[in-house]
Structure 1
Amino acid sequence: MTVDVKADLRRHALARRDLVTHVEAHEAALAVASRALALSRELARRAEDVVSVYWPIRSELNTRPLLEALADAKIATVLPVMTAVKQPLVFRAFTPGDALVKGPFGLSEPSDDKPALEPDIVFSPLAAFDRNGCRLGYGGGIYDATLAELRAKKRVVAIGIAYACQEAEAVPTEPHDQRLDFLLTEQELIAF
């Protein structure tokens, strides 16, 4: 598959995501938080399991209700910290109410004084997904590199979060692409 095919799919999926209304976005965030909390409880095999959740940017599905729900359930949570393009993320402890700082790429991240922890469950943003567990990210290869590194060390469950309108017939893949184990939308939980 060519880079152009991925770029076109990404552009169209993100354009559809941008059309989600504020009311739809709010309802979707609550629905996904509820399903994601239940799934996290089911998947967390040990009390010390750590869950990574992204801090939403642009029109991404809002994960703040999920972060609140995980904190209320006393589940250890981390946010990703971006260090470089195509390089694995670092994960730092986060509890709702913690101050976030602007990272080198302009993203809101926990400060360096928060402990770094490796997650067992990773909730990932994405541009598009298909029914085969393939995700199309934003083109930096960051989550693929991260999941590859983590999965080389231990069992890590990858869960994509998206609006149903971001579904594609087929996402083009390359050998380095990491598949999702689950996908959550405002409408359903898909297990792969």
Structure 2
Amino acid sequence: MTGEPRIPCGHAAQPASAHANDAIAHSANKASLRATLKAARRALDPLDKARRDALIGARVLAWWRAHSTREADQVLGVYWPLRGEPDLQPLYLELARAGVPLALPLVVAPDSALAFVAWVPGEAMVSDRMGVAVPAEQRMVDRPGLLLVPCLGFTAERYRLGYGGGYYDRTLEDAPRPVTVGVAYQADQVAFAEGQHDVALDVVLTEGSSLPPGTDR
């Protein structure tokens, strides 16, 4: 999902040099895609971005309403928007008012899985070690069973392209995996060969569509 694979990709019969070449090509392809997608986000008109964000928020809310009856008190993992990511804060406020427990991710160490802290919109915030806003009072919670995952890019097979840190990769390595809902703009759909550690998201929601079509779970 995010980042380059920590084990080189390739077929087992290939020699070590072929493994290295595959890994380099894989890395270069993702780096190029990241640069292109970041530039496209910077070019978004603010009013158009706000319109898209509202449409995405409505789709996420509809998804939540269709699935929240399974475990009404289940914590929903959300994200604080960075680098032009879809801003869903109005949605978070609506969910919190409806009594949905929310949690934000927290980077606790390099090359480790994310931790999660309980969050109520409007409470005091500070910056974590990565410069990401987190609650000033850090009330740690277990990994949420439902998780919104911001995507810099995504494929038709629902593999995620992130910023390269690998934090979501490591968060989703251990079973049981949470239900993962990718959040992205429709124009962020790209193509790349997934790595050995990439895990497909359960669904990807954009302002105009979802993947897989008609099978949101």
Report the TM-score, using the length of structure 1 for normalisation.
0.91
Identity over aligned pairs, percent: 34
Deviations 1:124-177 (A, max 9, x none): 11211111111111001111111123xx1x351111111112111x23211111
Whole-Å separation in 1 of the counterparts to 2:111 and 2:53? 28
Residue among 34, 46, 51 paired with 2:58: 34
Q: Which ranges in structure 2 are unaligned for 5 or more consecutive residues?
A: 1-24
| Other structure's SS at 2:121 match | coil
Contact 2:29 2:192 in 1 (8 A): no
Whole-Å separation in 2 of the counterparts to 1:16 and 1:85? 28
Residue among 106, 114, 117 paired with 1:89: 114
Contact 2:56 2:207 in 1 (8 A): yes
| Counterpart for residue 78 of structure 2 | 53
Whole-Å separation in 2 of the counterparts to 1:178 and 1:86? 17
Which AA in structure 1 matches 2:38? L
Contact 2:144 2:178 in 1 (8 A): yes
| Counterpart for residue 65 of structure 1 | 90
Deviations 1:23-57 (A, max 9, x none): 11111121111111121222231122111111001
Contact 1:79 1:92 in 2 (8 A): yes
Whole-Å separation in 2 of the counterparts to 1:131 and 1:77? 29
Whole-Å separation in 2 of the counterparts to 1:190 and 1:83? 31
Q: Which ranges in structure 1 are unaligned for 5 or more consecutive residues?
A: none
Whole-Å separation in 2 of the counterparts to 1:178 and 1:85? 20
- Supply the RMSD in Å over aligned alpha carbons: 1.6
Give the Å deviation of 1:19: 1.6
| Other structure's SS at 1:24 match | helix
Higher radius of gyration, 1 or 2: 2
Which AA in structure 1 matches 2:28? D
| Other structure's SS at 1:144 match | helix
| Counterpart for residue 38 of structure 2 | 14
Give the Å deviation of 1:12: 0.9
**Is 1:164 the counterpart of 2:189 in the alignment?**
no
Whole-Å separation in 2 of the counterparts to 1:17 and 1:190? 21
**Is 1:4 the counterpart of 2:25 in the alignment?**
no
Count, aligned residues: 188
**Is 1:101 the counterpart of 2:126 in the alignment?**
yes
Which AA in structure 2 matches 1:35? R
| Other structure's SS at 1:2 match | helix
Contact 2:153 2:188 in 1 (8 A): yes
